[in-house]
Structure 1
Amino acid sequence: MSRPDAEQWERWCAMLEQGCSRAAREGRQVLVSLALPCEPFDALTQVATAEAHGLPYALLESREPDRVLLGVGRGSELLCEHGASLSGLSLRWRQWQVGALQEGVSGPLLMGGARFDAAAPRHSHWGEFPSAVMTLYPLQWLQAPDGCCLLLQAWVAADCDVEALLNRQQTLFDLLGRPASTVEAFAEPVGTDQPSVPAAQWQAAVGEAVQCIRRGELHKVVLARHVLRRHSAPIAVAPLLRRLRKRNPSAHLFAIRRGQSCFLGATPERLAHLQGGVVSTHALAGTTARGADEASDGRLGQALMASAKEREEHDLVVRSIRQGLERLGASVQAADAPELRRLPTLQHLSTPIEAELGLQTGVLDVIEQLHPTPAVAGAGLGQALAFIRQHEGLDRGWYAGPVGWMNGQAEGDFVVALRSVLVQGADAYLYAGCGVVADSLPEHEYQETCLKLSGMFNALQVGHEVAPV
C-alpha cells in the first residue's frame, strides 16, 4: 500500500505543529487531517496484515454506491455508554470540527457502530464493544469509483508530541507493508456447539410471543439466538471475509477489530445512506429459502410475495421507516410494492425508500430515528424490546446494530450488522433472528434461524457444506 512521500510528510508535520499552536491559543484540542490521492488497494490484504500485527481496524465495503473504507490504528474516539444518544455523538463531532485544519480531496471521517440495545444486560464476550463508538483512525483509506485517497488524521492537544505521533503513523505504515500469511485454511471445530438457549426453550419463547401478540400485548417481535462454535486454532479473519465476499458479492461487508475481538459479517441490509441531504434506505423483511432449481426458486419467491404473514411483517417495516424519516421533516418516497431480493441461500422482500432532508441533519440523527427497525426488533418498540430483554436469553451486543462511517459534513453510510459473527481467537459466536407475528409457528421460525446461520457456518467450514444446529 502506497505511503506519503517526504514532501507530504513534511506538510503533515507542519499541519500538526500548526494544530498544536492553535490548541494552545484556544485552550482546546484541534482536529487535523490531510487527504492524499493514493493507488487502488485490496482492503482484505490490509486486513490480513493488520490481523497479523494485532492492529485495531474497521472495514466497510458497501454496495450501491460501491465504496471501500478502511481505518487502521489506535485513534481518538467519540464514545457513549448506557443510553447516551447517537445524535449526541453527532453534535460532539460537529464541535470537533470548529477550527479544524484540513487539506486535500476529502475531509476527516469516523468509523464505528453501536449496540443493538444499549439498555440490555451485557455479557463478557461483548466487553470490548461499547454502547456506541465512532473512531478517528490515524490512517484512513477511502476507495470509490471516482478515485482513492489516504487520510492522515489526528485530534491534537497543545502538549501533543508531534514527533512521537509521526513515529506511530510511520510504524503503522511499516507494519502494513509487511505481507501477512496467505493461508486460507480454517481450523476444525472442536467439542459441541453451544446455543445461547436450547432449541426447545427458544421455540417456547416464540410461542409465548405469539400468545402475547394474539392477546394484543405485542404487535410483532424479533427474536434472535446465537451459537458458539469453538475451533482447534484461532479463526483466520481475512480468509473468512474473502469467502463471504465471494459467496455474496452484493452484500455489504464489514469488520471491526477491537482488542481480542473482531465483529464481522456480510449483511444484505442498509440502514441509511446520507449524501447531499438525500437519505437512501430500504425495508428488508420477509424471508424464504432459495430453490434447488430455477422453477422451485421462482415458486418460493412467488409464495413469499403472496404470503399475507410476510407482507404484513414487511409493511410494518416500511411504515416504521417512513414515520422515522418524517419525524425529521423529510419528504419520503417509497415503492408501492416490494421486490424480491435474492441472496445465495435466502430471498427477501425489499422496498427501496428515499427521503429529502435539510443539510443540517446528520446521518447519526437519521440512525437514531430509524434504529432499531421492526425488521430487527419489532413493532411497538418499547413492548418489543421489553419482551426481547426478558425472553431472548442472550446479549446481542452489536449484532443487528448500526455499523458505518460519517464524514465532516455528517454525511455517511450505515448498514445493519446481520449475517454476522463475533470472533474471539478460536471462538465464533454466530447470530441470527426472525420476526414473530400472530400466525408464526415456533418450529418454522427456528428453521428460519437455522437457514440464516447456515451461510456463516458454511463460510467457516473447510471444503464442504454443513447444516447448523
Structure 2
Amino acid sequence: MSRPEPGQWMRWWAMLEQGRCRAVREGGEVLVCLALPCEPFDALAQVANIESLGLPYALFESREPDRVLLGIGQGRELLDEGASSLSGISRRWRQWLASAVQEGPSGPLLMGGARFDSGGAQQPHWRDFPDAVMTLYPLQWLQNSVGSYLLLQAQVRADSDLPALLDEQRRLLDFVDQDVDRSEFVIEAMGDDQSSVSREQWQSTVAKAVKCIRQGEMHKVVLARHLLRQHVAPIGVIPLLKRLRRHNPGAHLFAIRRGKSCFLGATPERLAHLQNGLVSTHALAGTVARGGDEANDHSLGQALLASVKERQEHDLVVRFIRQGLERLGATVQAAAVPELRRLPTLQHLSTPIQAKIGAKIGVLDVIEQLHPTPAVAGSSLEQALTFIRRHEGMDRGWYAGPLGWMNECAEGDFVVALRSMLVQGTRTYLFAGCGVVADSVPELEYQETCLKLSGMFNALRAESKVATV
C-alpha cells in the first residue's frame, strides 16, 4: 500500500509543530489532522497484520453507501463518563475541532460505540469495552466512492514528544506493510456450549414477559441470550470476518479490538446515517426464516407481510423512529408499508425512513433520540429496560448498541451491533434476541434466537480449509 512521501512527512511535522505552538499559546490540547490520498486498500489484509500483534483497531464496512473505515493504534479517546449514551461526546468533539490544525480532502474522524444499556448488569467479559467511547486513531483509512485516503491524526500538547509521536505512526505503517503468517485456520469447539440461561429458564422469562404485556405493564420487550463457546485454540478473527463478508454481502461488517477482546459482526440494521442534513435509517423488525426453495421462500415472505403480530411489532419501531426524529425538529418521510429484507438465513420487514434536520444537529444527537429502538429494547421503553435488567440474566455489553463513526461536521454513520460475537482468545460469546409481544409463544421465540445465532455458528463452523486473506 502507498505510504506518505518524504515531503508529506515534512508537511505533517510542520503541522505538528504548529499544533504544539497553538497548544502553548492557548493551553490544553490541539487536534492535528493531515488527510492524504492513497491507493485503494484491502482492509482485512491490513487487519490481519494488526491482529497478529494484538494492537487496537476499529474496522467498519457499510453498505448503501459503500464505505470502508479502518483506524489503528492506541488513539486518544473521548469517553462518555457516567452517562447513559454517546451524548456528552459531541460537545467535547466540537471543542477539539475549534482549535484544530487540519489539511487535506478529509477532516479528522472518530470511531467507536457504546453499550446497549449502561444501567444494566456488567460482567467481566465486557471489561475492555466502556459505556461509550469514540477514538481518534493515529492512523485512519477512509475509502468511499470519491477515493481512498490516509489520515494522520494526533492530539498535541505543549509538552508532547513529537519525534516519538512520528516514530509511532511510522512503526504502525511498518506493521501494516509487513508479511504475516496467513495460514488457514481450523476452528473447533471443545465441549458443550454454555448458555447465559437454560432453554427452560429463557422460555419461562418469555412467558413472564407475555403475562406483563397482557396486563398492560408494557407493549413489547426484546429478550436476548448469549452462548459461550470454548475452542481448542485461539480464534482467528480474519477468517471469521472473511466468512461473514462472503455470506452476508449486504450487511454492515464491523470489528473493534480493545485489549484482549475483539467484538465483531455483520449486522443488517443501520441506526442512522447523516450526511448534508439528511438522516437515512430504517425500521427493521419482524422475522421469518428463508425457504428451502423459491416457492417456499416467497410463501414465507408473504406470510410475514400478512402477519398481524409481526406488523404490529414492526409498526411500533416505525412510530418510535418517527417520533424521535420529530423531536429534533426533523421533517420525516417513511414508506407507507414495509418491504421484505432478505438475508442469507432470515427475512425481515423493513421500512425505509428519511428525515431532513437542522444544520446544528449532529449524528450523535440523532443516536441519542433513536437508541435503543423498540427493535432491540421494547415499548414502553423504561418498563421494557427495567424488565430486561431484572430478568434477562446477562450483560449485553456492546451487543445491540450503537457502533460507527463521526467526522468533523458531526456527520456519520451508526449501525446496531447485531449478529455479533465477542472473541477472547479461545472463547467466543454469541448473542441473539427477539421481540416479545402479547401473543408470543415462548418456544417459537426461542427458535427465532436459534435462527439468528445460526449465522455466527456458520462463521465458526469447523472446516478443513478457510479462505486466506
Per the normalisation by structure 2, the TM-score is 0.98
The residue type equivalent to 1:329 in the other structure is G
Whichever residue aligns with residue 113 of structure 2, its letter is G
Q: Is the 8 A contact 2:86 2:133 kept in 1?
A: no
Distance in 2 of aligned mates of 1:63 and 1:379? 28
After TM superposition, which residue ranges in structure 1, 4 or more long, deviate above 6 angstroms?
none
Partner of 1:219: 219
Provide the C-alpha distance between the structure 1 equivalents of 2:397 and 2:87, rounded to a whole number of angstroms. 20
The question of 1:45 aligning with 2:45 is answered yes
Residue of structure 1 in register with 2:295 after alignment:
295
Q: CA deviation at 1:293?
A: 0.2
Q: What corresponds to 1:339 in structure 2?
A: 339
Q: Which runs of 5+ in 2 are unaligned?
A: 465-469
In structure 2, the residue matched to 1:20 is: 20
Using the TM superposition, give the Cα deviation of residue 335 of structure 1 relative to its aligned residue in structure 2, in angstroms: 0.1
- Equivalent pair of 2:85/2:114 in contact (CA under 8 Å): no
Paired with 1:172 and 1:340, the residues of 2 have a C-alpha distance of 43
Structure 2 contact 334–354 (Cα < 8 Å) conserved: yes
**Conserved 8 A contact 1:82-1:119:** no
Do 1:36 and 1:149's aligned partners in 2 also have CA atoms closer than 8 Å?
A: yes
Which is further off, 113-122 or 81-90? 81-90
Quote the Cα distance in structure 2 between the aligned partners of 1:377 and 1:404. 19
C-alpha contact (below 8 Å) 2:85/2:131 kept by paired residues: no
The match for 2:75 is 75
Q: Which residue of 1 aligns with 2:463?
A: 463
Superimposed CA distance per residue, residues 388-439 of structure 1 (whole angstroms, 9 cap, x where no aligned partner): 0001000000000000000000000000000000000010000000000000
**Is the 1:254–1:266 contact (alpha carbons within 8 Å) kept by the matching residues of 2?**
yes
2:270 and 2:282 in contact (8 A); partners too: yes
Letter of the structure 2 residue corresponding to residue 104 of structure 1: G
Q: Which residue of 2 aligns with 1:439?
A: 439
CA–CA distance in structure 2, aligned partners of residues 82 and 328 of structure 1: 24
DSSP-derived class of the 2:238 partner: helix
8 Å Cα contact 1:213-1:219 kept in structure 2? yes
SS at structure 2 position matched to 1:69 = strand
Q: Secondary structure at the match of 2:396?
A: coil
Output the CA distance in 2 between the equivalents of 1:117 and 1:307: 30
**Equivalent residues in 2 for 1:83-102, closer than 5 Å:** 83-102=83-102
Q: Tell me the residue number matched to 1:249.
A: 249
Residue 187 of structure 1 and its aligned partner are, at CA, apart by 2.6
Alignment partner of 2:322: what SS?
A: helix
1:289-328 aligned within 5 A = 289-328=289-328
Q: What is the aligned-residue RMSD (CA, Å)?
A: 0.8
SS in 2 for 1:151: strand
Residues 129-208 of structure 1 correspond to what in structure 2 (within 5 A)?
129-208=129-208
Q: In the alignment, does 2:364 pair up with 1:388?
A: no
Identity of aligned residues (%): 72
- Contact kept? 1:81, 1:118, Cα under 8 Å: no
CA contact (8 A) 2:84 2:117 kept: no
Secondary structure of 1:390's counterpart equals: helix
Alignment of 1:375-454 (within 5 A): 375-454=375-454
Q: Is the 8 A contact 1:115 1:131 kept in 2?
A: yes
Alpha carbons 1:186, 1:460 under 8 Å: kept: no
- What SS is found at the alignment partner of 1:158? coil
The letter of the residue matching 1:353 is I
Could you give the per-residue CA deviations for residues 195-248 of structure 1, whole angstroms, max 9, x where no partner exists? 000000000000000000000011000000000001011100011000000001
Contact preservation (8 Å) 1:289, 1:346: yes
Question: Normalising by structure 1, what TM-score?
Answer: 0.98
Provide Cα deviations, 1:442-464, integer angstroms capped at 9, x if missing partner: 00000000000011001111239
The alignment partner of 1:347 has SS state of strand
The residue that corresponds to 1:33 in the other structure is 33
Determine helix, strand or coil for the equivalent of 1:352. Answer: strand
Matching residue of 1:271: 271
> Displacement of 1:53 after TM fit?
1.2
Q: Partner residue of 2:65?
A: 65
Q: Distance in 1 between matches of 2:224 and 2:291?
A: 24
Task: Show CA shifts across 1:37-91 (max 9, x none).
Answer: 0000000011111100111000000000000000000010000233254221011
